[in-house]
């Protein structure tokens, strides 16, 4: 019995020794905390110093605009672009709202898109993408139309009239059916582009491109105003058929009533009987 009690007391003492806590290493924790504090303070000082240096550099006039360059402009003068941009020399380059400057320049009807960039340290470049007129549309007044079917500018006395004229779309239809009208204008410009690439029957032979919503597209010849009925689509194939016989038809245009290209694989030519009879 005595031995068992002694063994039990010895186990209890051993357990107690195991549970005794080790002294904490306060010095190491303090040194680690001190290093982190010094590092954070140093970073803060570096950031504050950098901000202060940038502020002093900006205020010194080093980044103030002293040159604005305009690129890719032809119809719109550099002076017009600069006036619309409203960029003042001496303005801090970082204070420029490039998006707003671009929107202001795009107020000019000739301008399709604008890219404005900072050129450090003191420059700005403005790249202009201009619209290219492909036709003139008659809506009571004459307007330019580009390749996207966009009606973008009223013609002024100084503007060129040396473009094909598109008729058949009135202002009311344009306002009430803007998507349909634009789609028709895109097709009209595509037809004009097809004519521009031709040798025997091309834009020199056409005075007007007329849009009839029921029948499609009609071309009117420069000589005699003879309608050439194109309908909708397949313009290249239809013009191919016409060009094969146009050299024979051209001397007799004044005696024709119409030319119809809507019949598959044929060119239907109607003769003006009254004109033919009158000529004897």
pLDDT digits (tens, 9 = 90+) for 216-250: 999 999 999 999 999 999 999 999 999 999 999 99
Both tokens assigned to 232:
């909708």
Query: Is the pLDDT confidence value at 2 over 60?
Result: no
Helix axes 235-249, 178-196, angle to 10 degrees: 50
In this prediction, residue 114 has a pLDDT band, given cuts at 50, 70 and 90, of very high
In this prediction, residue 32 has a pLDDT band, given cuts at 50, 70 and 90, of confident
Both tokens assigned to 241:
């058929």
Alpha-carbon distance of 269 to 248, in angstroms, equals 12
Both tokens assigned to 105:
């320049």
Both tokens assigned to 85:
């941009």
Query: What is the pTM for the complete model shown?
Result: 0.74
Both tokens assigned to 279:
């000529």
Alpha-carbon distance of 12 to 34, in angstroms, equals 42
For residue 220, the model assigns a pLDDT of 97
Alpha-carbon distance of 149 to 183, in angstroms, equals 7
H/E stretch holding 206: strand 206-212
- Write down the residue that tokens 């898109």 correspond to: 113
For residue 279, the model assigns a pLDDT of 37
Query: Is the pLDDT confidence value at 40 over 90?
Result: no
Alpha-carbon distance of 115 to 136, in angstroms, equals 28
Alpha-carbon distance of 148 to 152, in angstroms, equals 10
Enumerate the H helices of 74-166 as residue ranges: 78-85, 98-105
Domains of the chain in start order, with CATH, are 67-130 (3.10.20.310), 135-278 (3.40.50.11690)
Of the candidates 102, 72, 73, the one whose C-alpha atom is nearest the C-alpha of residue 87 is: 102
Mean pLDDT of the chain: 86
């Amino acid at each position: 019995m005595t031995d068992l009690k002694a063994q039990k007391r010895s186990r209890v003492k051993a357990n107690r020794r195991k549970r005794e806590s080790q002294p904490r290493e306060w010095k190491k924790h303090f040194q680690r905390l001190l290093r982190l504090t010094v590092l954070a303070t140093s970073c803060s000082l570096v950031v504050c110093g950098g901000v202060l240096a940038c502020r002093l550099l900006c205020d010194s006039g080093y980044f103030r605009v002293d040159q604005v360059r305009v690129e890719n402009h032809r119809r719109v003068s550099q002076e017009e672009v600069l006036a619309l941009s409203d960029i003042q020399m001496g303005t801090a380059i970082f204070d420029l709202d490039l998006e707003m400057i671009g929107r202001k320049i795009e107020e000019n009807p000739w301008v399709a898109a604008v890219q404005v960039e900072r050129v450090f340290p003191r420059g700005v470049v403005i790249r202009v993408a201009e619209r290219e007129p492909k036709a003139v549309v008659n809506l009571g007044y004459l307007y330019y139309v580009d390749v996207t079917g966009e009606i973008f500018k009223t013609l002024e006395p100084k503007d060129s009239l040396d473009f094909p004229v598109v008729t058949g779309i009135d202002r009311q239809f344009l306002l009430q059916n803007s998507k349909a009208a634009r789609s028709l204008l895109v097709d009209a410009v595509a037809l004009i582009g097809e004519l521009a690439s031709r040798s025997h029957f091309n834009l020199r032979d056409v005075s007007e491109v007329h849009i009839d919503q029921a029948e499609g597209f009609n071309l009117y010849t420069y000589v005699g105003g003879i309608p050439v009925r194109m309908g909708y689509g397949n313009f290249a194939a239809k013009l191919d058929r016409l060009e094969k016989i146009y050299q024979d038809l051209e001397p007799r245009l004044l005696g024709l009533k119409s030319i119809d290209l809507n019949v598959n694989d044929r060119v239907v030519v109607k003769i003006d009987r009254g004109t033919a009879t009158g000529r004897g």
